[in-house]
Structure 1
Amino acid sequence: MDDGFELQLIDALQPVRGFALAQGLYHLFSSGIYERIADGPRPVRDVADALELDVARTSGFLRYLANENYVALSGDTVSLTGKGRQLAPYRPWYELLVGGYAQTFQQITDVLQGKGYASRDGRMVGVGSCGMSAFDALPLVRDLMSDLPAAPASLVDLGCGDGTFLTSLVTESDRLTGLGVDPFAPEEPTAPGVRFVRSGATDYVAEHGAAPGAEPDPSRMFVAAFLLQEILEQEGRAAVVGLVRGALRQGGHLAVVEVDHRPADPAVMRHGLGQAYYNPYYLLHVLTEQRLETDAFWQDLFADAGATVVSRRVADPRVDSTGLEIGYLLTRNTGAPGHPGGTRGEGAGE
């Protein structure tokens, strides 16, 4: 046997180590342990008892994480290490990719064999996506709102997930109300002025369509963050065109956030975030009932829906410097049908 076998084995097993570690860190959060020890050391038994966990198994789980240097064990006491504390802001990425999509990656062979789409945990996808949006999509929508001729009085968040995205926007203003639309929307309001409807976005827009000849309400703004990719694969291009057109018949503006689809672009795939996030993100969209498209595709679709791109922005480069997460502020084109109208063009508002 080659004398270098063991070293090659260690290298070959690093993806397995990463697989187990991603699961472990997700469950460190989801079990409630992270919050319990965030303020300082705690006896393992006290942590387990408070969370109704098995003490021996919890101890073994924490030993695993101690070996990876995310927690420290001293006798029967556990605490977060510096590395563990630094993980807190990135919890939503684990909630999305592990909580929402771990089961998806287990189904790759079935999907390759043509056995339908892979499943996912829709609730955790919503939780993770909304949490991540606090860093990228939420500031992006705020930037788009700053391009409006006047501040809106009401927001309709199509595909609102757990509602935190909409709630953040509404609670920042003393005059804004919000309606969240999503099959997994909360059953109760999350803040004053916020309410929810459990419905699909296309159904909601169709059922609440403006009366013939009615003018859009200029004080009403629709938001669709990472939603059009879902409708495109599940209901087709015509349904997306219909949703964009329908929203702009009811409200003055529609803010859209989508991800540019460039998995074969070396400039993207050599980027650190391209490897760490977008490469698996692109893969899961191949497996699930979602369809990513290019910036040019979306702009053509908006033109077909009779929409004008008022402004185009990208996520804060301090969070994501790839330029792949794009926000579009749309309004109804009052010029020639199908004409894209004025736009700030590539890089506007960046």
Structure 2
Amino acid sequence: MEPDFEQRLITAIQPIRGFFLAQCLEFAMTSGLLSKLGEASPTDVDQLAKDLALDPERLTGLLRYLEGEGVVTDSEGSPAITAKGREYLEFRPWYELLIGGYGATLRELPEVMADRTRFASRNGTMVGLGSCGMSRYDAIPLVKRLIDRLPEPPSAVVDLGCGDGTFLLDLCEGGRPGIGVDPHPGSIDNARRAAAERGLSDQVGFVNATAEDYMAQVRPEAGPTPCFVTAFSLQEVLEQKGRDAAVEVVRTALTHTPGAHLAVVEVDHRPLDPAVLRHGLGNAYYNPYYFLHQITEQRLETRAFWDELIAEAGGRIVECLTTAPEVDSTGLELGYLVRGQ
């Protein structure tokens, strides 16, 4: 046996360690465990299990594991979250998206890699939840900057692919009406619940439908001018319905009323760009993000592609912005403000 075998083994199985940790962290976040451990008043494991409706013995096992990873302390006494655990918890939406939303996706690789007509499944509700949570850091500020560049405030915001609704609710703070559209019933349920909790149910409504089905029912109006928003949803229309359907969604939004605008958020597809692969966030987030979109019913495209699609739909790009560099300095997330020609 080679003298360095054990050290090489330790190095080689670090991805496995990361796999286990990510799965357990996502459960600890979505079950409320980490949040509960961060509360000021300490509690013992039995009370913690009762509060979270978990089995005490199995909860003890999870806490022991998390203590071994430096996430909690005193797993068998009065468990508490560590500074490292709080750091993980701050970035909960990324775990909701990539682990909660796509956790089972990679198990389907044997089938989808052999058959181009098949797509791996995902948990659409968790994808929407994570995506909306992440958007508070990147896409929502980006869309707000785009809306600020409109010639006049929109009469309403129509979010096509609204997820759990928090994206739209944040955009509508201050009294602006809104309509959220999403194909996943669970996401719509979450959105209506969030609107009620924030006292916005009379101001913001939600519709269970795909973006293309909703827009197919929209008729041109001569009234007030709304701003439509498609944040990461044209990529779904593109893969599931084709380019013509994506063009039609854009065209319908732009012809809804004279002066109507569309805010589009998509991701520039540059999987082999050395600048992306060398970038910390490019390697940690966008590299797996690109692959997941290759095997699920979503299609990422380049900036040039989106420019051409918008032009084909009769749109004129007023602005193209990206995220604040302190949040995401890759420049891969693109925010377009589009109006009709």
What TM-score do you get using the length of structure 1 for normalisation?
Answer: 0.91
Letter of the 1:196 partner, please give it: F
Aligned to 2:149: 147
Number of positions where the alignment pairs a residue of Structure 1 with one of Structure 2: 327
CA distance in 1, matches of 2:75, 2:68: 13
CA distance in 1, matches of 2:242, 2:291: 20
Paired residues for 1:294-333 under 5 Å: 294-333=302-341
* Poorly superposed stretches of 4+, deviation over 2 Å: 184-189
CA distance in 1, matches of 2:32, 2:20: 19
Match status 1:93 vs 2:91: no
Letter of the 2:274 partner, please give it: P
Equivalent pairs: percent with the same residue?
51
Aligned to 2:271: 263
CA deviations over 1:227-246 (Å, ceiling 9, x no partner): 01001010000001000000
Check whether the contact 2:60–2:76 (CA below 8 A) recurs between aligned residues: no
CA distance in 1, matches of 2:89, 2:16: 23
DSSP-derived class of the 1:39 partner: coil
Aligned to 1:232: 238
Check whether the contact 1:218–1:253 (CA below 8 A) recurs between aligned residues: no
Unmatched tracts of structure 1, length 5 or more: 334-350
CA distance in 1, matches of 2:67, 2:31: 16
Unmatched tracts of structure 2, length 5 or more: none
How far has the Cα of 1:75 moved from its partner?
A: 4.7
How far has the Cα of 1:63 moved from its partner?
A: 0.5
How far has the Cα of 1:86 moved from its partner?
A: 1.7
Letter of the 2:125 partner, please give it: R
Match status 1:78 vs 2:79: yes
Q: CA RMSD in A?
A: 1.3
CA deviations over 1:102-139 (Å, ceiling 9, x no partner): 11111122211116110000000000000000000000
DSSP-derived class of the 1:223 partner: strand
Paired residues for 1:271-286 under 5 Å: 271-286=279-294
CA distance in 1, matches of 2:76, 2:61: 13
Check whether the contact 1:307–1:330 (CA below 8 A) recurs between aligned residues: yes
How far has the Cα of 1:208 moved from its partner?
A: 1.7
What TM-score do you get using the length of structure 2 for normalisation?
Answer: 0.93
Letter of the 2:251 partner, please give it: R
> In structure 2, do the counterparts of structure 1 residues 327 and 156 end up closer, same or farther at CA, with 3 Å as the change threshold?
same
CA distance in 2, matches of 1:168, 1:322: 24
Match of 1:291 among 259, 277, 299: 299
CA distance in 1, matches of 2:58, 2:121: 29
Letter of the 1:259 partner, please give it: V
Letter of the 1:239 partner, please give it: A
> In structure 2, do the counterparts of structure 1 residues 123 and 75 end up closer, same or farther at CA, with 3 Å as the change threshold?
closer
Check whether the contact 2:64–2:76 (CA below 8 A) recurs between aligned residues: no
